[in-house]
């Protein structure tokens, strides 16, 4: 399998002379600039806020509720997102069916579209016949916490599907063929060979879905509103605090989100992307 998401060094370092070193330096310059800009921005956030503001944010019942809502909705979104991403990524990678190119393009739509459009489209959809029927059947989404999950899923699943497809593209179908000659059904070959081989890629797919879902703001505000203790997620809190002129509080929540995201990403990478051999 192509090691698409390896944390290990990819290639040896051949002797390159002065030109070789200049080449490496030019590449690393871009890495340095990118990292420096982000470090500067995050440092400014941290520098601007105070320990007291962060402490207040942590102890505020409203922010705690928003934090909890953000965590559980994004968690459910990751689960549902992977539930779609793995089979869809596999199907798009392995099968050629009528409309394959169209499905491939539909998967990319949410990546290209402004997220706000997703919220607006959902609102319109649930105002029409099929949408109303779903709501009347008891599956309520508009202005409900479940709606947050729906927004997050529609916006972020595509990133997971794309990552999963790339991963399965990198797995030689012959390993499945061999498994099938060794007694596996086609599904057995998938579960016993391809899925374990795709582990790292699927973890990356999960990370992509989560990062996108955790930070989503526009479509959530349009589709479920900003009701405190009900549909207010952390990005909404930042917006509301800013709107009320409480910039320190907004920054405190932002720093909280940064810390949470950093811990989650580093943790997942350390646990999930370890080399197995």
DSSP codes, 196-239: HHTHHHHHHHHHHHHHHHHT--HHHHHHH---TTTT--HHHHHH
Q: Which of 97, 174, 187, 245 binds another protein (CB under 8 A)?
A: 174
Q: How far is the CB of 193 from another protein (least distance, A)?
A: 6
Residue 197 near residue 1 (C-beta atoms within 8 A): yes
The contact mask relative to another protein for 197-236 (x = CB under 8 A, - = no) is x-x-------------------------------------
| Cβ burial, residue 143 (10 Å; 0-12/13-18/19+) | middle
Site for another protein in 1-30 (CB under 8 A): 1
Greatest C-alpha distance within the chain: 71
Q: Does 175 bind another protein (CB under 8 A)?
A: yes
Q: Does 78 bind another protein (CB under 8 A)?
A: no
- Neighbouring CB atoms inside 10 A of 114's CB total 11
Q: Quick one: tokens of 268?
A: 């997942």
- Neighbouring CB atoms inside 10 A of 134's CB total 15
Q: Does 273 bind another protein (CB under 8 A)?
A: no
Q: Quick one: tokens of 16?
A: 């390159």
Q: Which of 29, 43, 185, 243 binds another protein (CB under 8 A)?
A: 185
Q: Does 177 bind another protein (CB under 8 A)?
A: yes
Q: Which of 78, 166, 193, 221 binds another protein (CB under 8 A)?
A: 193
Q: Which of 57, 78, 163, 179 binds another protein (CB under 8 A)?
A: 179
Interface residues with another protein (CB under 8 A) are: 1, 172, 174-175, 177-185, 192-193, 196-197, 199, 276-277
């Amino acid at each position: 399998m192509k090691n698409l998401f390896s944390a290990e060094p990819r290639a040896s370092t051949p002797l390159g002379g002065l030109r070789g070193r200049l080449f490496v330096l030019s590449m690393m310059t871009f890495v340095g600039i990118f990292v420096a800009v982000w470090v500067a921005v995050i440092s400014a956030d941290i520098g601007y806020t105070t320990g007291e503001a962060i402490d207040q944010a942590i102890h505020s019942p409203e922010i705690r509720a928003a934090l909890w809502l953000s965590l559980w909705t994004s968690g459910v979104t990751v689960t549902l997102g992977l539930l779609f991403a793995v089979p869809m990524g596999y199907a798009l990678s392995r099968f050629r069916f009528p409309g394959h190119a169209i499905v491939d393009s539909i998967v990319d739509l949410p990546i290209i579209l402004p997220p706000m459009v997703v919220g607006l489209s959902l609102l319109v959809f649930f105002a029409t016949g099929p949408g109303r029927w779903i709501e009347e059947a008891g599956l309520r989404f508009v202005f409900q916490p479940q709606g947050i999950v729906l927004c997050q899923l529609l916006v972020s699943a595509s990133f997971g599907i794309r990552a999963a497809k790339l991963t399965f593209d990198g797995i030689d179908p012959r390993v499945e063929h061999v498994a099938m000659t060794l007694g596996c059904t086609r599904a057995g070959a998938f579960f016993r060979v391809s899925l374990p081989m795709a582990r790292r890629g699927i973890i990356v797919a999960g990370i992509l879905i989560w990062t996108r879902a955790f930070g989503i703001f526009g479509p959530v505000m349009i589709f479920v509103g900003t009701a405190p203790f009900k549909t207010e997620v952390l990005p909404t809190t930042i917006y509301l605090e800013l709107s009320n002129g409480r910039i320190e509080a907004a920054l405190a929540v932002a720093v909280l989100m940064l810390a949470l995201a950093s811990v989650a990403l580093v943790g997942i990478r350390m646990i999930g992307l370890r080399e197995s051999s």
